[in-house]
Structure 1
């Protein structure tokens, strides 16, 4: 098969996880090292990855809440509910969700007091997962209904509604959604002597809210940087009003970058259905390289995969690497 023709180049660059902690469901920590690097390379890589981790790694948050009660303004109080509307919105903002799907999704809370309402009471689509179900939302002190309709979105950065949308209509309130699973990123650079040259080691510290682990966030940031840079290797140049196509030599063959990607890309990055993702996990197929090797050895394993997923996998290899699996 095609995998037989690929020769993965072994780079001296080593990436290691030095430490990994889960202090709580919404507080994950990871420390990673990258070495050896030439002098100056560590700073170049660190700045790009840190900015990507903090600004472009995507998360899922609640963006709107519609409370089925007559409400005058954000700081209104409701009979039988301890918190004001403003406090409830802040609590909804802190809820950490995880989803691989894009688009707008609906969720809801339908309960009756007296009781404490937590994130576990939110009714969500099966594709969205609550990281910490104990997150507090409201305290119902009397036997009153608490019905809230929610809008959930996957995005990047800090989504701040414009001034016009901030005004609630019929109990619909926008929420400043922090679609940022990465809480903080630190890096340090350490120089050392290797043979006759000065080498550098880059140390990354990543904190996340549990929507992604630090390791997943690191991979996601690297993948986004690759998506940003690769199109620059395949350009059209405008000469006297006419576009002249030129391709850099790196794209005329399966280059070192393309080969190395097979070792690090995971099957779940293809956004397959949960059924097919489980199939791959049960057969210990986690990376794209595992898929190519295994499909060569035992293609019958994948006979029960739906045609849509098989087509998506083939299109991915064709688009990203120019590999035809048919």
Structure 2
């Protein structure tokens, strides 16, 4: 089995790295807040590093799942960054959702050292990470993808290469665009059902069996109705992702009017104090307008 490093012990990275250990790999981890890495290492009888450079020493494949473009640059570049400790012929697999621009920038820096790069953002949220049921969208050379694919399989439900470096990030933008349109539609529909005097849960159960069904309707309608949002993917992170997609669309000359609208609706949720609520909290706007918050 492989000697691996994993950078980022957040709600996604920690369980993903855990699945790698369960698969029999030797995993060393890093986190900006060292105590998180130390606790994870103690729990999994593994090692942790004080810096990315120290953590990746001897690793065949380095994985990362951090916050944003700047966070990724911070763990990859510089004297204490991952590239400073990686050797020619190794592979960097990035699970962070970032811009295609920074992905290509860092992949080029890695290439100069003979290090391969695969951008591999994921979908499935914390539950998907914990259950090893993530959808992974990949970009990179076929050879690099083929190296990473059997290792990533430890926490994947589905995985596919969509093209060269940056293609994974572009696909993740499609994923987020589709999600927010669906979630806003569910929020409107459930609020409409309530105001019409219907039982929203009964409506959601039936509609989910027809053409209006979706993962979001099945898994989020109940918590939307119950006013429970302390779980899942945070509004703050979704707005970060939508900002990336909107900027990419601008560069490509592709209008994204629905995405722009829902992004602003999420801004209203943030103004209600819901930056850390799950993305399904779009329905809270209606409660606020009705004076129910």
Q: TM tier, shorter chain?
A: under 0.3
The TM-score with structure 2 as length reference comes to 0.27
The TM-score with structure 1 as length reference comes to 0.25
Higher alpha-carbon Rg: 1
Structure number with higher relative contact order (C-alpha < 8 Å, ≥ 6 residues apart): 1
More helix per residue: 2
